[in-house]
Structure 1
Amino acid sequence: MRYLLLALVLLLGAQPALAQTTHWVRDVLYVTLRDGPGSQHPVVTVLESGDGIEKLEESDEGEYVRIRTDDGQEGWIQEQYLSEERTAAQKLAEVRTELDQVTQRRGALASELETVTSERDQLASQVEELEGTIETLRSELEEARSAAERPLELAEQNEQLRTENKEMETELKRLQAEVADLEGTENRDWFLVGAGVLLAGLILGIILPHLRGRRSSTWDF
């Protein structure tokens, strides 16, 4: 009897150790975790699709594997119910999360675009007012030039108008540059909004077709 036990221990010790890797229960809704490798063993607990488990060892026939659940329970489950990939439901949840993030980003970009557009319109209005002011100053300057025979007071007024005209032209150039920058920003933001929506559509188009017909209800007794 002692020799038989010793041989059994040596045989078990000679089996190669399996790498402890993370797997997931397939899309079968429910699977029973049993106390041993076979349906004749009592049920330890019931696992649901998407439950994460740790694979510990395989049975001699390779049909069953011993696993450990996230809450520490150990038992045996048929190998066919395990998958090294996440379930379709988990992938769909991840895609929906990414889609929500893209949607939120698109909303933020739309709000930012609205603000930039409003600022651009305000600057355009200021530019229009400045252009009118500059035109008025130019007319006054021409009048001042034609009145060169007036006293020194008119000469001083003429110089003042020249200075104001230069300041207005400088301000006009600055505002025109700001308007150009804002128009560039507006085009960029619209491009980002469109790219975000296109990305979300592509992701759903890839994942959703694989979800049909993947789930089935299985009980192992």
Structure 2
Amino acid sequence: MLRFATLTALMIAATSTLAQDVRYVSDQQFVPLRSGAGSQYRIVHRGIPSGTRLTVTQQSEDGDWAEITTDRGTSGWIRSQYLMTDTPAQVALDSAQQRVQTLADENATLQSQLDALNSEKVDLLNQSTSTESDLRSVSEELTQLKQISGKAVQLDADNRRLVETSETLRASVDMLESENQRLEDKLRNNAFMDGALAVLLGVIIALVVPRLWPKRKRNDGWA
């Protein structure tokens, strides 16, 4: 009983060891290419890998062999059983993997372009914000300029009015100066006339007054 249990344990251990050694059979095949339609002909190419694209030029009478030419120009006979019209699974898988890699590269490129576009979008948003700020500043400056312009128009009107008032006052001053000069001339003339009249009056008095006083008679006793 003990021997049976030991043998069973060894078998289980061996089975576990064999189960852990997992392998896969490769689907890669290398088909020999011969100089004629038969195994007795010499081999002109020892290994055409599976998935190689071939062009069939003719077949043997029994159909077991086919004469082919590769895209590189190698010609010979190969068993028809190795030929197929559909794309081999490995080739299709490789093509699919290449396609996946191409799509991954394109996706990475598109992602890079998307990141660049997002970065440009952020830059444009920042520029837009800055532009809006500048626009507000310009609008405020324009409002101030309009206010200043309105004040400037008012100041110009006030200045014109003051100029007109100044010209009117200057004309009034000129008129007053002219009137003052006329009055001064008149006063000088009046003073001259007054002086002349005073002199004339003095002469008249000197001539008339002595005649108005009676002459004294001479006293003969004093003669």
* TM-score class normalised by the smaller sequence: 0.3 to 0.5
Q: Which has the higher helix share?
A: 2
TM-score by length of 1: 0.44
Of structures 1 and 2, the one scoring higher in RCO (CA 8 A, sep 6+) is 1
Larger CA Rg, structure 1 vs 2: 2
